[in-house]
Chain A
Amino acid sequence: MREPLIRGAGLVAAIAYAAAIVWLYVTQPQTVAQVTGGFASAVGAYRIDQQAFDDGLRFFRAGQFAEARAAFARADSAERDPRTQFYIAYTFYREGWGRLYNDDALFAKGLAAVDKAIALAPGGRLVVDDIDLQMRSADELRAELQRGLTREASDFNPLKVFRTRK
């Protein structure tokens, strides 16, 4: 009676442990928050810190991008929320955008963040309903960041100084 119970429990524990290890290998989390958030997200129990997100949004609209990123990072400490990751990518875009040239390092970070947002979004489609943004989909933001990182002849077009930040 006792032996089948031990065998059953052992089998379940081993399968669960193996699944957790495979998940860790696939997702490569770097912090405890990412580990716990990842597990919570897997069972649909992950929630961002709404207060921190609202703070981040306020900083973002005021043009305080470093502060906004800090607040967004606090809101989504496990990096599992596509919308927050989208806003983080947008902060990199707006901070890195320049009338004469873009900051490649910030654009590269923005590209990494928007890729993360796309990977987290169901079906890879992410549209943010925010009237303050000119690019509301992750695809538009990604293309804009990628264009900013690409070197091409049109970069030397003097009329580019008249373009506007989105």
Chain B
Amino acid sequence: MSALREAIVLPLLFLTIAFVGGARLDARVALVAPTLFSLVLATMVIAALVRSGALAPDRLLHGSRSTIANANGAVVLLTLFAATSQTLAMLTPRTGLPLLFVDIFLFVLLLNTLVAMPDRVRLLRSLAVTLSSALILKFVVLAAVSGQTESRMSRVLVALFDAATFGSITQEPEPASAGYLAFFTVAMYLIAVALLPRVRAAQSAELVPR
């Protein structure tokens, strides 16, 4: 991996993701710190990245590297953690049953991924599917049942659905820009993760059981 990618591209990408991922667009823009559970999930994602060989920590932090190179490596790892936790927090619904179900959904999926020990390509595909599903669930499906609709009939249906579920499903309406911002953040996150230093081929054969 080039010094440019390690020292500049990856930290700036991950910091941008951490910044944008924490933005909540309501009447006013608020920057929200990640939840405790998203920190746990982020730890699991990083563990899965390491186990699959998508991230080689020894190519970022090692005794044979210079001090400044190790400092760059540490920054990449720290910013990766911040970006992962903020991305997961952004994709999790804010309240009610959807929050619980999505947290359980992500936890079980990541646990399964950790145990299955996929190789790098499969892990990246799995991560893309997981994050995209969470994005669609929150910003398309839940937004549709929670959002302000134009027609009277739709408003009646939304109100009935809300009453039938005791208000435990519907979320606070989010502006349309929140979905676009989330899409941009997830895409940037997946690109940045794919750019991480991977385990070299010889080591990779030892890592993944065939």
Contact = CB atoms under 8 A, between A and B. Distances in A.
Interface of A: 3-4, 6-11, 13-15, 17-18, 21, 24-25, 28, 30
B3 interface: yes
B93 interface: no
SS of B interface (majority): helix
Contact of A10 (B7, B19, B28, B33): B7
Contact of B79 (A7, A9, A18, A30): A18
10 contacts: A6-B3, A6-B7, A8-B68, A11-B7, A11-B72, A14-B12, A14-B75, A15-B75, A24-B31, A25-B22
B69 interface: yes
A25 B72 contact: no
Given A7-B72, A10-B11, 14 more contacts: A3-B3, A6-B8, A7-B66, A7-B69, A9-B8, A10-B8, A11-B71, A11-B75, A14-B7, A14-B11, A15-B75, A21-B19, A24-B19, A24-B31
Given A6-B3, A6-B7, A9-B8, A21 B30 contact: no
Given A7-B69, A13-B8, A14-B79, A21 B15 contact: yes
B29 interface: yes
A141 to B, nearest CB: 26
A155 B6 CA distance: 66
A11 B68 contact: yes
B75 A7 contact: no
SS of A interface (majority): helix
Interface in B73-103: 75, 79
Interface residues of B, number: 23
B68 A7 contact: yes
Contacts of B3: 3, 6-7, 10
B164 interface: no
Contact of A13 (B6, B12, B31): B12
B206 to A, nearest CB: 29
Contacts of A10: 3-4, 6-8, 11, 72, 75
A15 B12 CA distance: 10
B15 A18 contact: yes
A6 B1 CA distance: 13
A78 B75 CA distance: 32
Nearest to B29: A30
Interface centre among B7, B8, B66 (most CB of A within 10 A): B7
